[in-house]
Amino acid sequence: ASASTSARVTLAVEASKRGVSGSGSTPGSRTAIQSARLPPAPFPTAGEVYLPAGDGALQLSPMGLGTWSWGNQFVWGYEDSMDSELQRVFNMAVDAGVNVFDTADSYGTGNGLDGRSEVLLGKFLRECPSERVADVQIATKFAAYPWRVTPNSVVVAARESAARLDRPSIELGQLHWSTGNYQPLQERALWGGIADAYDAGVIGAVGLSNYGPKQLRRIHAYMTSRGVPIATLQVQYHLLSRFPEFDGTREACDELGIRMIAYSPLALGLLTGKYGVENPPPGLRGFAYKDVLPALPGLLSVMRAVGEERGGKSPAQVAINWCLSKDTTPIPGAKNTRQLEDNLGALGWRLSEGEVRALDDAAVAAGKSTSQNIFQTK
């Protein structure tokens, strides 16, 4: 690991001990929904705290929950019969102090355009018996569909998501991807639209997804001119996808005061230890990662050894904690309470610098990486 990475691990550990965030914030305007939000109750797991983002508009739990699988048939095999178990997952996560639930208007059944994940979250929010539900902060993403070519189309999308979520406003609204690689004119409309949604109070904070450092700096300059802080950037980040460390994304986030969210921290299940060449993931995942599977045993062996030294932590818990130790907010998915319970075991401790270094070295030795999102920009 580089000296800067080693220093970041140390800072992340110390920040967790002190109860402060490792990233700064960019001054900007506040909306009514931001100023009205009360601080969440203390995080129930010892040693963990909520971290501020977006000029104080957000207080993020150290780990969130991604809900791509909640409604997605094509990759995750969703069926309506799963809804009761998903509701139990939601309630358990809220009780455990998780307050970040990441979704998108494109997460849905069949053709993916019905926002099923948002609808389920709206129902679960209404029916959740926990007092902690008041602290939940929904993070949804607005797809750069080809028909969203005006700023107002993004504002409309935000209002439609809020309606599906049954909320007057959304705590964190995110551009799902940049069109800078293929439709730069649409890109400026998307920027203007999400800033307009922020100014109108439809969203309480602005986030991004799949932006690289060059495009991140461009949109940051635009948002600064509008007085709109960028709170978060989510990128694919895990032991088999470390490009944010090497392409300048990490440095740009630190410099600009943007909290980095790590999506797919378990590499769509590859880092759980459940899969291998003889037992590939089902469906599309098995096909997409067939070239990565032969490289897994060595990395998983180190992950298991680290987990054993940590009192029997699972590979999934080690993988998520690696993201935490890199000063990011991981958002692993969970389709059942067993998976969620495993994920929650990543909280309340941190890998040492030596353990992080050993895992980094094992990832390099594996010699394979998962492919980046096709919409990821430079």
Pick the catalytic residue from 78, 107, 198, 237: 107
Interior angle at CA 82, CA 209 and CA 238, nearest 5: 30
**Percentage of the residues of the chain whose pLDDT score is greater than 70:** 86
The pLDDT tens digits for 5-17 are 443 443 344 334 3
Query: What confidence score (pLDDT) does residue 92 get?
Result: 98
Rounded Cα distance, 92 and 325, in Å: 24
Query: What confidence score (pLDDT) does residue 370 get?
Result: 73
Closest C-alpha to 69, from 275, 260, 300, 340 = 340
The answer, yes or no, to whether residue 124 has pLDDT greater than 70, is yes
Residues with Cβ within 8 Å of residue 35, at least 6 apart in sequence: none
**340: confidence class by pLDDT, cuts 50, 70, 90:** very high
- DSSP annotation of 202: S
Cβ–Cβ under 8 Å, residues 120 and 335 = no
Cβ–Cβ under 8 Å, residues 163 and 202 = no
Helices (H), 169-295: 184-199, 213-226, 243-246, 249-256, 283-288
pTM score > 0.85 for this model?
yes
Cβ–Cβ under 8 Å, residues 197 and 207 = no
The pLDDT tens digits for 349-372 are 999 999 999 999 999 999 877 766
Query: What confidence score (pLDDT) does residue 374 get?
Result: 65
| Average pLDDT rounded to a whole number, residues 140-148 | 96
Query: What confidence score (pLDDT) does residue 281 get?
Result: 78
Active-site residue 289, yes or no?
Answer: no
Rounded Cα distance, 177 and 211, in Å: 7
The torsion region of residue 313 among left (phi > 0), alpha (psi -120 to 50) and beta comes to beta
Q: Which amino acid would we find at residue 285?
A: R
Rounded Cα distance, 45 and 62, in Å: 10
Could you tell me the two tokens for 35? Answer: 């100023």
Cβ–Cβ under 8 Å, residues 314 and 307 = yes
